[in-house]
Structure 1
Amino acid sequence: MAESRPRLDIGTMFDMARRTTTPTPDEEFEERIVDIDVSAEMRASYLEYAYSVIYQRALPDARDGLKPVQRRILYSMSELGLRPDRGHVKSSRVVGEVMGKYHPHGDGAIYDALVRMAQPFSMRLPLIDGHGNFGSPDDSPAAMRYTEARLAPAAMLMVQSIDEETVDFRPNYDGQETEPSVMPSAFPNLLVNGTTGIAVGMATNMAPHNLSEVVAAARHLIRHPDATLDELMRFVPGPDLPTGGSIIGLQGVRDAYESGRGTFRMRARATVENVTPRRKGIVVTELPYNVGPERVVTKIKELVNAKKLTGIADLKDLTDRHKGLQLVIEIKNGFNPEAVLDELYRLTPMEETFGINNVALVEGQPRTLGLRELLSVYVEHRIDVVRRRSAFRRRKREERLHLVDGLIIALLNIDEVIRVIRTSDDSSQARARLIETFSLSEIQANYILDTPLRRLTRYDKLELDREKETLQAEIDELTAILSSEDRLRTVVSGELAEVAKTYSTPRRTVLLESADVVRTAAVPLEVADDPCLVLLSSTGLLARTTDASPLGGEGERAQHDVLVSVVRATIRGEVGAVTSEGRMIRVSVVDLPALPPSANPPTLAGGHPVSEYVTLEPGEHVVGLGGIDLDGPGLAIGTAQGVVKRVVPEYPANRDEFEVIGLREGDTVVGAVELTSADHDLVFITSDAQMLRYPASQVRPQGRPAGGMAGIRLEGDARVIWFGSVDPSLEARVVTVAGSATALAGTQTGAGKVSDYADFPAKGRATGGVRAQRFLKGEDTLLLAWAGPAPAKAVSSTGKPVPLPEEIGRRDGSGVRLLHGVAAVGGALGAGPGYTGSAHAEGADGAASPSDGTPDEQSEATQIF
């Protein structure tokens, strides 16, 4: 067992470390230990840290609107010569320059600040011209080694005349370089671009504004120093966000302009449009500040899946660099788009709150500033910059004028000047003799001695005279500016006007006093929840109807389609589309087109492809419809391998799609029908022409995951090609079409046969059935089959009617050669509830497959359905 060691406290460990440390020569003579009060040390250290964060990191200066890291980035790029007329350089080079000389706080913070200054959705007037992936409101930018940057034209206004002693410089962190304490800032950057930052015990959050509006307010304040807030708000009515949108409720804006704190609501800009010929939609073109489309899309999907947001059929993000932001939200039929839009504003980031907190540094102290104070601080700073710039320029021109005067004296006395220089022993004697002979200053004498002889010509005398006049005029102009406060203010105002003229852009954000009247909840309006029938045709078209009269008709003029399924429902209810893979997908009935009342000749106009309502996997197709909220015997399913199943009608309420049968490997669903009575027959017809019928009551209902039970016994390679339900009390027919399994699809019309359903005896479940058609020479399989209420109808792939042979009295007789190819067989349209479906011609792979609803197949069928 390991020996336990005594635990040492921190004081004991410190004493041991001190005793074991080898003393330095000084420590051998004197022990230097200073007792410090921990609370006092913590208080002093924390205050020093807090001040450093506030002053050196998080808060902007009210004069130029820049945080220290932003100011250092702009200054470094200016020193590197990364002007708008130069090429881009790697962002990592800029970050390294800034971190090495001015900002030793990590490359991440520097690059984040650089990226933000380059993002047009973050800055109303970007200061960095970025090249590469600088991110989006939803995504982070690429790494600094992949992006490039240079100064934007607006950034040149920030550093303009910085080399003319317009601002003070201070040592950098190690004293080896100097950096500006503030930028000259030729435009009110803090108000135009806004800022955000979190310090210790305080934070700032300032909204961007329109450049021309802010400049107009600043110029008004220059002319009228006693201007009130109401007067300034005539020029700056509210923020102008980079992403546009709308601002709702201006009282919060006025509070912020008055006290420096306030809130307002930002709202996306959206319009209601016809996004498809049959649906209206909401098109979103602008989002609130700092809100990205992916965030909105994700939130809408969450709300729709949680059933907290209704009325939305589809959502598409069509945003690209050419059209800009474009979110298309399709609205279900019967829902009020304006009401859905109100719900989107209420529940999603399409409406956000912006809290203004105008905290900035004024003379090194954090202050909360209103609009007037912010403009006043900037105006005073700009006046000081122009004053210092004017004084610098006047001094430089006076110095140049002094040199020009000396050079003119030398030209007027050129011979004497040459004689004095030639007779002098050295340059020092020549300088002294020139000063004494011509009453020159030492600077003038040195300049004359340094001037090449080629400059001492008659033409240079004329140029010097003109330069002297120009310099004198400029000096007089600068003196007038410096000697008159009104003249100085006029210069500042004129320069601001020129900046606004060059760089201003139209307002993007709409200002609204209050929101529109809130509408009712997003529920179907003006659509009664009446009973209806949902129809699925053989060419893959969906529709609903409340008309009780027959939908079919007789005669050659009656172009028609045949039905796969008819299900009872209500207009505000749902039905389920059952697919060949055993899935059920919810479909909202109110979204389906309503068929018009019966006409003469019969017509079924307005059906739409099922692909518009459900999303299918490759090779998957819809085989039938089932009721979602119906009470009854439930859904009956038959598969290609002879499995039958009755599904207990208990479907999950929180899922849009779910499994209704557990299929074996290689098996598919060939038919699905919503039973209206357990006394109806379930019917199987196989590829080897066997037909089996028995009451649905022989099949025990099972839960959704169950795999069903044996429905029909198959022989050899036979498979089920049709499954459905028939009411034995009605007059019904059985239609079969035989052909060759080896023939190419679409090359044979087949031999058709129509029989009386009553000729086929009922047998037990899982038996082999009876023969439905005798094969002739060259026939070895059924191409399609169907059983249902009379009269039977056949259509081609284009929806045109195809004549069927007359009924024969023998159930196992042979067929009659058809004149035209048959794509589908079914009962008359409008056969009513309990109709089981249609039969489809086999595809190339031998599996029964309905039409995909291609344009060729629907060219005529969609005219009537």
Structure 2
Amino acid sequence: MFDMARRKTTTPLPDDFEERIVDIDVSAEMRTSFLEYAYSVIYQRALPDARDGLKPVQRRILYAMSEMGLRPDRGHVKSSRVVGDVMGKLHPHGDTPIYDALVRQAQPFSMRLPLIDGHGNFGSPDDMPAAMRYTEARLAKAAMLMVESIDEETVDFRPNYDGQEVEPTVLPSAFPNLLVNGTTGIAVGMATNMAPHNLVEVVAAARHLLKHPNASLDELMRFIPGPDLPTGGTIIGLDGVRDAYQNGRGTFRMRAKVTIEQVTPRRKGLVVTELPFNVGPERVVTKIRELVQSKKLSGIADLRDLTDRHKGLRLVIEIKNGFIPEAVLDELYRLTPMEETFGINNVALVDGQPRTLGLRELLHVYVNHRIDVVRRRSAFRRRKREERLHLVEGLVVALLNIDEVIQVIRSSDDSAEARRRLMEIFELSETQAVYILDTPLRRLTRYDKLELDQEKATLIEEIAALTALLSSDDKLRALVSKELADVAKAYGTPRRTVLMESSGVSRTAAVALEVPDDPCRVLLSSTGLLARTLDAGPISGEGERSNHDVLVSVVDSTVRGEIGVVTSLGRVIRVSVVDLPVLPSSASPPSLSGGHPVSEYVTLGQGETVIGLGALTPDGPGLALGTAQGVVKRVVPDYPANRDDFEVITLKEGDRVVGVTELTSEAHDLVFITSDAQLLRFPASSVRPQGRPAGGMAGIRLDPAATVIWFGALDPALPSHVVTVAGSATALPGTQTGNAKVADYAEFPAKGRATGGVRAQRFLKGEDALIIAWAGPAPAKGVTETGRPVELPTEIGRRDGSGSPLPHAVTAIGGALGTTAAVPAASPPPAAEEDASL
């Protein structure tokens, strides 16, 4: 290592030396050079001035654009032209930092009140802007407030880097730009990071400070409760904000604005409309995908970025069924940039020195600067008016003595003599005499005399007002306050960021991420609606009906379990229970008004209809099926776990399933009701369980023209009813009311399997078939196609008696919970009607 270094010096050399070598200490040279570099970065690049809130490059951009005439009422020009003008005249650095500073001042997501009106691609929180040769710019209306009255000696100017131009040391800044727009910068050994605020709030605090110079921080925070970020969002916890306002340093947490919505008919989702400051949607999307792929985040089914320039930010996070959206949101806040920390470090230049400032100090610096600007502007305007008044008074003298003035001018050898003689004869100053000589004769008329008198009076009045203003500190402060109020009225916008005093403790410790696997009940209505209850408790009273609708099938399950939808073709289609909409607690009668059509969960073939539901547990009771051709089958519950749909019976050609039930006991009866009014009941123990491919066995013997219209299972120990409705087989479904009969189930004797059964209703004239039938625990309920209730006849004792006329056509019949309802044998369950169960 060398302790010494050598360098050439620019000191003039003596005549007897060709060059001089100076030995210097390396450590001293490094210390001096580093200090010079640090000084340059701190004062000329990274830190803003506390008065106008601008770094040198930002100030130079605004001043240069103002000098170029790029006002809001003029057209845009290429950004490269602005950058070149700034770099060539004012900023001795590269074009990249100049363009970066210009771009930031044009971005509405970076600045609370943008100062540049950009045209073209100026970037997004995720993307870089287009090159300067593609974009255009001009000053925004708010920027005109920054340079307003700069030509009235309101601020000091200094030479530029080469001494050929001048530049302002600070801008007049008609609004508190540093607090409104914030700033960020990294210097040597220090940094600044200031949050944006709401213009209306900051102006209100500044006006209060103007009126009450000794106002406390608590008083000012009544006007400025916290930052107001350009991208909105939510600030959680204000303790850090108060620390920053008190001492100049503090931190707070920013959260995205999220709502929980029904994003699809079957799923809820998190809709993000606002993100934390300086966070873009692509960054959030990328992080979420990484977490999902690494299995560190569960419960997200899909993620879509629907952001556009018209609707703004819209990030849709679809939540899997079975997961609690609020708990997933807490995980997103914890693991992704949807929650970020902002560290406030209010470092700015005050009188050329870097200082850490609290809210009160920042406002004081700006208010004092603005008072000084208005004072200097008023003094400049008074001086200009005094100078004009002096000229007007001289011109008035010339008009009053116009003939003598003309004679003096005509008799003078040159302008110098004319000026001297005018000064001597009419006691004018040199300035007045020169102005009279320069004034065209056409202005020296009687009308101009009147105008000059009026102008003189106006000037005297204005000079007096400006003198009174400059001599009164209270009037000066009042004028500054009024101008700030006008700015807030013209450019103020509502607050975007929500402030929350709460610390925002995550709820994941108290709320599970997934929905617990609690017992529940799955319901299928006659109008084709599918839903689940919150638990598997008993449903009392009108539990068998749902908004005048009857239940076709009821199955016990668990929230995270699966049930099977059985179709008329003998297929079972798996459906996750957690995907089903939830009904209110079973303590009150259920309403399927929130149910979803079963067609949203299963895909059916042509002519295929839904018959009922069944549990898919391996140790369950198994299903019992009945077909239109009289076949009965008990299915062994060996359902395949890796298939979404499978067959549970092999049907003969032209046959179809008309009824399905869960058989909970072999002591129950299996019941067939046929179209020719025959009812057969026999014990379930007489039917042996069979595997899924089996075709079943004979259940009831049918006449050649008869078919089975209802099949189910009943507990013979419970009081039950048999409801049959007779009519014409040739009538269209739903067009005839028919004659209904209600009989006691005990009136029907049990017979053996594969026999013909007994008569359930005697046909009257015009009747030749049963159009609907049902058997189950009392009481029985009937509904129309739209789900409206129909009063059924009272029970009669004779099982083979005739029926009574119905007021309306019945399309479904149901009873107490646990029984199945009857639907017309010739048609599927009708679609849900809006005026019924939907």
Fold equivalence (TM over 0.5): yes
Contact 2:60 2:167 in 1 (8 A): yes
Counterpart code for 1:99: V
How far the C-alpha of 1:700 sits from its partner, in A, is 5.1
CA distance in 2 between partners of 1:722 and 1:408 (Å):
115
Q: Distance in 2 between matches of 1:463 and 1:156?
A: 33
Whole-Å separation in 2 of the counterparts to 1:803 and 1:175: 109
1:109 offset after TM fit, Å?
A: 1.5
* Alignment match of 1:540 (pick from 516, 528, 550): 528
Find the aligned partners of 1:231 and 1:66 in 2 and give their Cα distance: 27
CA distance in structure 2 between the partners assigned to 1:678 and 1:514 by the alignment: 50
User: 1:222 deviation in Å?
Assistant: 5.1
Q: 1:683 to 1:155 in 2, by over 3 A?
A: same
Q: After alignment, is 105-114 or 161-170 more displaced? A: 105-114
Aligned partners of 2:811 and 2:214: how far apart in 1? 89
* Alpha-carbon separation, structure 1, partners of 2:245 and 2:344: 9
Structure 1 residue aligned with 2:106: 115
CA 49–693 in structure 1, closer or farther in 2 if over 3 Å, else same: farther
Q: Which residue, out of 65, 78, 83, partners 1:99?
A: 83
Pick closer, same or farther for the CA change 1:315–1:702 going to 2, 3 Å: closer
CA distance in 2, matches of 1:490, 1:160: 19
Matched AA of 1:585:
S
- Residue equivalent to 2:374: 386
Q: Distance in 1 between matches of 2:223 and 2:167?
A: 35
Indicate the residue corresponding to 1:789 in structure 2.
713
Residues 528-556 of structure 1 show CA distances to partners (whole Å, capped at 9, x for unaligned) of 99855322224233243522779788xxx
Check if 1:611 corresponds to 2:596: yes
Aligned pair partner of 2:575 in 570, 584, 597: 584
Does the aligned pair in 1 maintain the 2:813–2:823 contact within 8 Å? no
Is 2:401 aligned against 1:410?
no
Given the superposition, is the C-alpha separation of residues 138 and 693 from structure 1 closer, same or farther in structure 2, using an over 3 Å criterion?
Answer: farther
Going from structure 1 to structure 2, the CA distance change for 1:590 and 1:507 (only over 3 Å counts) comes to: closer
Q: Does the 8 A contact of 2:115 with 2:142 survive in 1?
A: yes
Query: Does the Cα contact within 8 Å between 1:724 and 1:837 map onto a contact in 2?
Result: no
User: Which secondary structure state, in structure 1, belongs to the residue aligned with residue 556 of structure 2?
Assistant: strand
* Change in CA separation of 1:123 and 1:755 when aligned onto 2, cut-off 3 Å: farther
Equivalent pair of 1:260/1:371 in contact (CA under 8 Å): yes
Shift of residue 161, structure 1, vs aligned partner: 0.3
Does the CA-based 8 Å contact 2:331-2:508 persist in structure 1? no
Matched letter for residue 66 of structure 1:
L
Instruction: Tell me, in whole angstroms, the C-alpha distance in 2 between the residues paired with 1:81 and 1:267.
Output: 41
Structure 2: how far apart are the matches of 1:504 and 1:100?
33
Count of residues in Structure 1 that have an aligned counterpart in Structure 2: 732
AA in 2 matched with 1:453: L
2:147 to 159, 165, 169: 159
- Give the drift of 1:185: 0.8
Unaligned runs of 5+ in 2: 1-17, 88-94, 715-720, 726-732, 749-753, 760-766, 774-783, 786-809
Q: Give the partner amino acid of 1:673.
A: G
When residues 418 and 390 of structure 1 are mapped into structure 2, their CA distance, relative to the original with a 3 A threshold, is same
Task: Please show how residues 381-460 of structure 1 align to structure 2 within 5 Å.
Answer: 381-424=369-412, 427=415, 430-431=418-419, 434=422, 438=426, 440=428, 443-460=431-448
User: Structure 1 residue 61 and structure 2 residue 49: aligned?
Assistant: yes
**Aligned counterparts of 1:184 and 1:236: Cα–Cα separation in 2:** 23
Contact 2:635 2:692 in 1 (8 A): no
- Residue 331 (structure 1) shift: 12
Match of 1:853 in 2: 832
Matches within 5 A, 1:22-37: none
SS in 2 for 1:186: coil
Q: Distance in 2 between matches of 1:193 and 1:735?
A: 80
Change (3 A) 1:335 1:694: closer
Letter in 2 for 1:101: D
How big is each residue's C-alpha offset from its partner over 1:65-89, in whole Å with a ceiling of 9 and x where there is no partner? Answer: 12345434543554455555x37x4
Q: How big is the shift at 1:357? A: 0.8
Q: CA deviation at 1:64?
A: 0.5
Report the Cα offset of residue 471 of structure 1: 3.0
Distance 1:431 1:339, change over 3 A: same
Tell me which amino acid in the other structure corresponds to 1:611. H
Q: Give me the TM-score of the superposition, normalised by structure 1.
A: 0.64
Kindly state the Cα deviation for residue 167 of structure 1 after the two structures are TM-superposed. 2.1
**CA spacing shift, 1:789–1:64, aligned 2, 3 Å:** same
- Residue 154 of structure 2 aligns to which amino acid in structure 1? T
Q: In structure 1, how many angstroms separate the alpha carbons of the residues matched to 2:625 and 2:328?
A: 46
* Alpha-carbon distance change, 243 to 110 in structure 1, aligned in 2, over 3 angstroms: closer
Tell me if 1:732 matches 2:645: no
Q: 1:148 & 1:610 partners in 2: Cα distance?
A: 55
- The C-alpha deviation readout for 1:761-817, integer Å capped at 9, x for no partner, is 77776466678898989x9xx9x9764225787998899999699999549x9x965
Return the alpha-carbon distance in structure 2 between the equivalents of residues 34 and 47 of structure 1: 21
The separation in 2 between residues aligned to 1:828 and 1:217, in whole angstroms, is 71
Shift of 1:584: 3.4
CA shift for structure 1 position 39:
9.5
C-alpha distance in 2 between matches for 1:720 and 1:385: 93
User: Which of 324-333 and 75-84 deviates more?
Assistant: 324-333
Q: Which residue of 2 aligns with 1:696?
A: 635
Q: In the aligned structure 2, how far is the partner of 1:446 from the partner of 1:559?
A: 100
Query: Does the residue aligned with 1:547 lie in a helix, a strand or coil?
Result: coil
- How many Å separate the matches in 1 of 2:455 and 2:409? 26
Matched, 1:192 2:191: no
Unpaired segments of 5 or more residues in structure 1?
Answer: 1-29, 598-603, 624-638, 642-665, 738-750, 844-848
Partner of 1:674: 615
CA contact (8 A) 1:335 1:523 kept: no
Q: CA separation of 1:251/1:709 partners in 2, compared to 1, >3 Å: closer, same or farther?
A: closer
Q: Using the alignment, how far apart are the partners of 1:800 and 1:196 within structure 2?
A: 80
Instruction: Tell me which amino acid in the other structure corresponds to 1:412.
Output: L
d(CA) in 2 for partners of 1:757, 1:38: 110
2:593 partner letter: H
Q: Do 1:609 and 1:853's aligned partners in 2 also have CA atoms closer than 8 Å?
A: no
Deviates more, 1:141-150 or 1:172-181: 141-150
Partner of 1:11: none
- Structure 2 residue 249 is the aligned partner of structure 1 residue 261: yes
2:814, 2:820 within 8 Å by CA — same for their partners in 1? no
Which residue type is aligned with residue 615 of structure 2?
E
Q: Give the superposition deviation at 1:494.
A: 5.2
Q: State the one-letter code of the partner of 2:347.
A: V
Kept after mapping to 2: 8 A contact 1:313/1:332: yes
Amino acid at match of 2:387: E
State how far apart, in whole Å, the 2-side matches of 1:563 and 1:410 are. 109
Matched, 1:593 2:532: no
Post-superposition shift, 1:63? 0.9
Distance 1:585 1:192 in 2: 53
Report the Cα distance in structure 2 between the residues aligned to 1:640 and 1:479, rounded to whole angstroms. 94
CA apart distance, 1:261: 0.5
Change (3 A) 1:459 1:195: same
Residue number in structure 1 paired with 2:791: none
Partners of 1:150 and 1:263 in 2: CA distance: 35
Equivalent residue letter for 1:375: L
CA distance in 2, matches of 1:730, 1:465: 118
Q: Distance in 2 between matches of 1:620 and 1:518?
A: 35
CA change 1:262–1:530 in 2 (3 A) is closer
Offset, 1:684: 7.7
1:584 is aligned with what amino acid?
A: V
Quick one: structure 1 residues 584 and 513, their matched pair in 2 at CA, closer, same or farther if it must change by over 3 Å? closer
The structure-2 alpha-carbon separation of the partners of 1:708 and 1:53, relative to structure 1 and needing over 3 Å to count, comes to farther
